[in-house]
Structure 1
Amino acid sequence: MNNNCGNCCNNCRGQLCASKVPIFENLNNEELLEVVKTINHKEYSKGDVIFTEGNVANTLYFVNEGNIKLYKYTKDGKEQILHVLTEGEFFGELDLIKPSKYGFNSKAIVNSKICTLTKDEMKDIIMRKPEIGIKVLETMGERVAKVENLVQNLATNDVDSRLAYLLIDLMEKYGELIEKNISIKLPLSREDMASFIGVTRETISRKLKKFEYEKLIKIIGTKNLIILDEEGLKDYI
Structure 2
Amino acid sequence: MDPKFIISQNQCLTCGHKHCAKKVSLFANLSEEDLDQVVSLVSRRRVAKGETVFSIGDPSESLYIVNNGSLKVYVLSREGREQILYFLKEGEFLGDVHLLKTGTFDYEAMALEDTHLCIIHKKDFDRLILERPEIAIKLLAYAHDRIVDLEELIQTLTTNDAEARLAALLISLAEASGKETEEGVEVTLTISREDMARHIGLTRETISRKLGQFASAGILYFKDNKHLVIRDMERLSDYDAIGRN
When the two structures are superposed, what TM-score results if normalisation uses the length of structure 2? Answer: 0.91
Deviation string, structure 1 residues 99-142 (Cα, Å, up to 9, x no partner): 31112110110111100000101111111111101111111111
The answer (yes or no) to whether the contact 2:27–2:135 under 8 Å persists in 1 is: yes
Q: CA deviation at 1:8?
A: 4.8
Structure 1 counterpart of 2:85: 82
Q: CA deviation at 1:74?
A: 2.2
Structure 1 counterpart of 2:230: 227
Change (3 A) 1:99 1:5: closer
Structure 2 CA distance for aligned equivalents of residues 96 and 168 of structure 1: 30
Q: Which blocks of at least 5 consecutive residues in structure 1 are unaligned?
A: none
Deviation string, structure 1 residues 145-168 (Cα, Å, up to 9, x no partner): 111110121012411000000000
Kindly report which structure 2 residues correspond to 1:145-224, keeping only aligned pairs within 5 A, or say none. Answer: 145-224=148-227
Q: CA deviation at 1:224?
A: 1.2
Letter in structure 1 aligned against 2:155: Q
SS at match of 1:95: helix
Deviation string, structure 1 residues 188-212 (Cα, Å, up to 9, x no partner): 1010011111111111000000000
Of 47, 52, 64, 1:49 maps to 52
Structure 2 CA distance for aligned equivalents of residues 43 and 178 of structure 1: 34
Change (3 A) 1:113 1:153: same
Structure 1 counterpart of 2:30: 27
For this pair of structures, how many residues does the alignment match?
A: 236
The answer (yes or no) to whether the contact 2:221–2:228 under 8 Å persists in 1 is: yes
Q: Which blocks of at least 5 consecutive residues in structure 2 are unaligned?
A: 241-245
The answer (yes or no) to whether the contact 2:42–2:118 under 8 Å persists in 1 is: yes
Structure 1 CA distance for aligned equivalents of residues 33 and 74 of structure 2: 36
Q: CA deviation at 1:78?
A: 1.1
The answer on 1:15 being equivalent to 2:30 is no
- The structure in which a higher percent of residues are helix is 2
The answer on 1:114 being equivalent to 2:127 is no
Structure 1 CA distance for aligned equivalents of residues 195 and 19 of structure 2: 31
Q: CA deviation at 1:13?
A: 7.6
Change (3 A) 1:9 1:183: farther
The answer (yes or no) to whether the contact 1:59–1:94 under 8 Å persists in 2 is: no
SS at match of 1:235: helix
The answer on 1:5 being equivalent to 2:14 is no
Structure 1 counterpart of 2:243: none
Structure 2 CA distance for aligned equivalents of residues 96 and 212 of structure 1: 43
Structure 1 CA distance for aligned equivalents of residues 158 and 78 of structure 2: 15
SS at match of 2:98: coil
Deviation string, structure 1 residues 3-55 (Cα, Å, up to 9, x no partner): 23348557x58523211111000210001001101100011111110001221
Change (3 A) 1:31 1:40: same
Structure 1 CA distance for aligned equivalents of residues 104 and 221 of structure 2: 42
SS at match of 2:59: coil
The answer on 1:38 being equivalent to 2:38 is no
